Amino acid sequence: MTLLARIPHTPVSAPIYLDHNSTTRPLPEVIDLVARTMAETWANASSAHWLGGEARAVLEVARDGICELVRGGYPDGVRFTSGGTEANNTVLLGGEPASAWRSVITCAVEHASVLRPAEALARRGSRLRVLPVGSEGLIDPDELRRAAAEAPPGPVLVSLQWANSETGVIQPVSDLVVALRSVRPDAFVHSDAAQAVGRMPVDLAATGVDAVAFSGHKINGPHGTGALVLADPDEDRISPLLLGGGQEHGLRSGTHNLPGIAGLGLAAAMRARTLDHAVTYMRSVRDAFEEELASTVPEAMVNGGSAPRLPNTSSVQFPGRDGMELVARLDALGVACSQGSACSSRKPEPSHVLRAMGLSEADAYSSVRFSFSTLNTTEEAQRAARVVAQALGKHT
Q: State yes or no: pLDDT of 301 exceeds 90.
A: yes
Q: State yes or no: pLDDT of 6 exceeds 70.
A: no
When comparing pLDDT for 241 and 131, which is higher?
131
When comparing pLDDT for 347 and 262, which is higher?
262
Backbone torsions φ then ψ of 144, nearest 5 degrees: -65, -40
Q: Are 265 and 62 in contact (CB under 8 A)?
A: yes
When comparing pLDDT for 375 and 94, which is higher?
375
Percentage of the chain lying above the pLDDT 90 cut:
90
User: Over the stretch 59-97, which tens digit does the pLDDT of each residue have?
Assistant: 999 999 999 999 999 999 999 999 999 999 999 998 555
When comparing pLDDT for 1 and 333, which is higher?
333
Q: How confident is the model at residue 296 (pLDDT cuts 50, 70, 90)?
A: very high
Q: Are 370 and 52 in contact (CB under 8 A)?
A: no
Q: What is the longest distance spanned by two Cα atoms in the chain?
A: 68
Residue 349: the pLDDT is 82
**Of 237, 248, 242, 376, the residue nearest 314 (C-alpha):** 376
Residues 165-181, mean pLDDT to the nearest whole number = 98
Report how far residue 227's alpha carbon sits from residue 73's, in angstroms, rounded to the nearest whole number: 12
Q: What are the strands, taking DSSP E only, across the chain?
A: 16-17, 70-71, 78-81, 103-107, 127-131, 156-159, 188-192, 202-203, 211-215, 226-230, 301-302, 313-317, 335-336, 367-371
Report how far residue 10's alpha carbon sits from residue 2's, in angstroms, rounded to the nearest whole number: 17
In angstroms, how far is the first alpha carbon of the chain from the final one? Answer: 45
Phi-psi region of 313 (alpha: psi -120 to 50; beta: other; left: phi over 0): beta
| Domains of the chain as residue ranges with CATH | 11-25+275-391 (3.90.1150.10), 28-273 (3.40.640.10)
Q: State yes or no: pLDDT of 128 exceeds 90.
A: yes
Per the DSSP assignment, residues forming a β-bridge with 368 are 316
Q: State yes or no: pLDDT of 200 exceeds 90.
A: yes
Residues 360-378, mean pLDDT to the nearest whole number = 97
Neighbouring C-beta atoms of residue 165, cutoff 10 Å: 27
Is 67 known to be catalytic?
A: no
In sequence order, which residues have a C-beta less than 8 Å from that of residue 247 and are 6 or more positions away?
45, 46, 253, 254, 255, 256
Residues 205-215, mean pLDDT to the nearest whole number = 97
Q: How confident is the model at residue 1 (pLDDT cuts 50, 70, 90)?
A: very low
Q: State yes or no: pLDDT of 345 exceeds 70.
A: no
Q: Considering the entire predicted model, what is its pTM?
A: 0.93
Exposure string of 288-318, with b = 16+ CB inside 10 Å and e = fewer, is bbbebbeebbeebbbbbbebebbbbbbbbbb
DSSP code for 76 = G
Per the DSSP assignment, residues forming a β-bridge with 105 are 129, 158
Residues 177-185, mean pLDDT to the nearest whole number = 97
Residue 94: the pLDDT is 82
Report how far residue 6's alpha carbon sits from residue 140's, in angstroms, rounded to the nearest whole number: 50
User: Over the stretch 265-290, which tens digit does the pLDDT of each residue have?
Assistant: 999 999 999 999 999 999 999 999 99
Report how far residue 353's alpha carbon sits from residue 110's, in angstroms, rounded to the nearest whole number: 8
User: Over the stretch 21-57, which tens digit does the pLDDT of each residue have?
Assistant: 999 999 999 999 999 999 999 999 999 999 999 999 9
